[in-house]
A and B are shown apart, each in its own frame.
Chain A
Amino acid sequence: MPDKSSKLVTLLFVLFFAIVLPAGHLMGIVSINTISLWGRYCCFAIAALGIDLIWGYTGIMSMCQAFFFCLGGYCMGMHLLLKATALQGQELPDFMVWNNFSSLPAFWQPFHGFVPAVVLALLVPAVIAFVIGFFVFRSRIKGVYMAIITQAFALGMYLLFLRNETKLGGTNGLTNFKAVLGFDLSSSNTKLALYFATVAMLCISYILCRKMMASKFGKVLQAIRDSEPRVGYTAYRVLNYKLAVFVVAAVLAGLAGMLYVPQTGIITPGRMSVTSSVEMLMWVALGGRGKLKGAIIGALLVNCLYSLCTSLFPEGWLFVLGVLYILTVLYFDKGFTGLFDKFAALLRSRRKAVVEGVPSPHAENTRVSHPAMARSSEGN
Chain B
Amino acid sequence: MLLEVNNLSVSFGGVQALNLSHFQLEDKELRVVIGPNGAGKSTFMDILCGKTKPDTGEILFNGKATNGLTEVEIAELGIGRKFQKPSVFSSLTVFENMTLAARMKKDVFSSLFFRMTPAFKKRIVAVAERVGLAGVLDKQAGALSHGQKQWLEIAIVVLQDPKLLLIDEPAAGMSDRETERTGELLLELSKEHGVIVIEHDMHFVRQIANNRVSVLVNGKLLMEGAFEEVRNDQRVIDCYLGRANAQLEKL
Q: Closest CB-CB distance, B15 to chain A, in whole Å?
A: 23
Q: Does B156 contact A (CB under 8 A)?
A: yes
Q: Could you say which of B1-9, B33-41, B93-101, B194-202 contacts chain A? A: B93-101
Taking Cβ atoms with an 8 Å cutoff, the residues of A that contact B are 212, 215-217, 219-220, 222-223, 225-227, 229-237, 240-241, 244, 290
Interchain CB contact (< 8 A) of B108 among A217, A231, A234, A235: A217
Contact of B107 among A230, A233, A240, A290 (CB under 8 A): A240
Residues on B with C-beta less than 8 A from A219 are 89, 92, 96, 99-100
Report the minimal beta-carbon distance from B3 to chain A, rounded to whole angstroms.
17
Measured between alpha carbons, how far is A244 from B81 in the docked complex, in Å? 26
Bound together, the chains give a CA A233 to CA B74 distance in angstroms of: 8
In the complex the two chains form, is A233's CB within 8 Å of B111's CB? no
Whether B71 contacts A233 by the Cβ 8 Å rule is yes
Partner of A222, one of B80, B92, B112: B92
Known: A217-B112, A233-B49, A233-B81. A223 touches B92 (CB 8 A): yes
Chain A positions within 8 Å of B71 at CB level: 232-233
Q: Is the CB of B113 within 8 A of A215?
A: yes
Contact B107 A222 (CB under 8 A): no
With A230-B89, A235-B75, A235-B76 known to touch, is A220 a contact of B160 (CB < 8 Å)?
no
**A241 contacts which chain B residues (CB < 8 A)?**
108, 111
Contact between B91 and A216 (Cβ–Cβ < 8 Å)?
no
CB distance from A300 to the nearest CB of B (A): 26
Decide if B114 touches A216 in the complex (CB within 8 Å). yes
Is A226 touching B89 in the complex (CB atoms < 8 A)? yes
Asked if B16 lies at the interface with its beta carbon under 8 angstroms from chain A, I say no
For residue B223, CB closer than 8 A to chain A, the reply is: no
Contact of A215 among B97, B106, B112, B156 (CB under 8 A): B112
Using a Cβ–Cβ cut-off of 8 Å, how many residues does chain B contribute to the interface with A? 29
| A235 pairs with B160, CB closer than 8 A | yes
Nearest CB of chain A from residue B35's CB, rounded to whole Å: 23
Instruction: Collect the chain A residues with CB atoms within 8 Å of residue B112's CB.
Output: 212, 215-217
Q: Would you call B89 and A227 a contact (CB within 8 A)? A: yes
Question: A215-B113, A232-B72, A233-B49 are contacts. A220–B90 as well, Cβ < 8 Å?
Answer: no
- Give Cα distance in the complex from A336 to B91, angstroms: 20
Q: How many angstroms between the C-alpha atoms of A279 and B178 in the bound complex? A: 49
Question: Can you list 18 pairs linking A and B with CB atoms under 8 Å apart?
Answer: A212-B112, A215-B113, A217-B112, A217-B114, A219-B100, A220-B100, A222-B89, A229-B87, A230-B88, A231-B100, A232-B71, A233-B49, A233-B81, A234-B106, A236-B72, A236-B106, A241-B108, A241-B111
A-chain residues with CB within 8 Å of residue B96 when the two chains form the complex: 219
Minimum Cβ distance to chain B for residue A180 (Å): 33
- Please name all residues of chain B whose beta carbon is closer than 8 Å to the beta carbon of A216 when the two chains form the complex: 99-100, 111-112, 114
User: Are A226 and B76 in contact (CB-based, < 8 A)?
Assistant: no
- 5 closest A-B pairs (Cβ-Cβ)? A235-B75, A216-B114, A217-B111, A223-B89, A226-B89
Cα of A244 to Cα of B83 in the assembled complex, Å: 28
**Residues of B close to A290: CB separation below 8 A:** 91
Q: Residues of B contacting A230 with CB < 8 Å?
A: 83, 87-89, 156
Picked from A212, A222, A232, A234, the residue with its CB within 8 Å of the CB of B101 is A234
- Point out the residues of chain A lying under 8 angstroms from B100, CB to CB: 216, 219-220, 223, 231, 234, 236
* Chain A residues whose C-beta falls within 8 Å of the C-beta of B107 in the assembled complex: 237, 240
A223 to chain B: closest residue by CB: B89
Query: How long is the Cα–Cα vector from A244 to B106 in the complex, in angstroms?
Result: 14
Instruction: Give complex CA distance A220, B72 in Å.
Output: 15
Contacting residues, chain A, for B156 (C-beta < 8 A): 230, 234
CB distance from B52 to the nearest CB of A (A): 12
Closest B residue by C-beta to A245: B108
Contact A225 B91, beta carbon cutoff 8 Å: yes
What's the least CB distance linking A227 to chain B, in Å?
Answer: 5
Residues of B within 8 Å of A232, CB to CB, are: 71-72, 75
**B window 60-78: CB within 8 A of A:** 71-72, 75-76
Give Cα A232 to B112, complex, Å.
18
Q: 9 additional contacts, CB 8 Å, given A232-B75, A235-B106?
A: A217-B112, A219-B100, A226-B89, A226-B90, A227-B88, A230-B89, A234-B75, A236-B72, A236-B100
Question: A227, A231, A233: which has the most chain B beta carbons within 10 Å?
Answer: A233
Q: Give the distance in Å from the alpha carbon of A265 to the alpha carbon of B99 in the complex.
A: 48
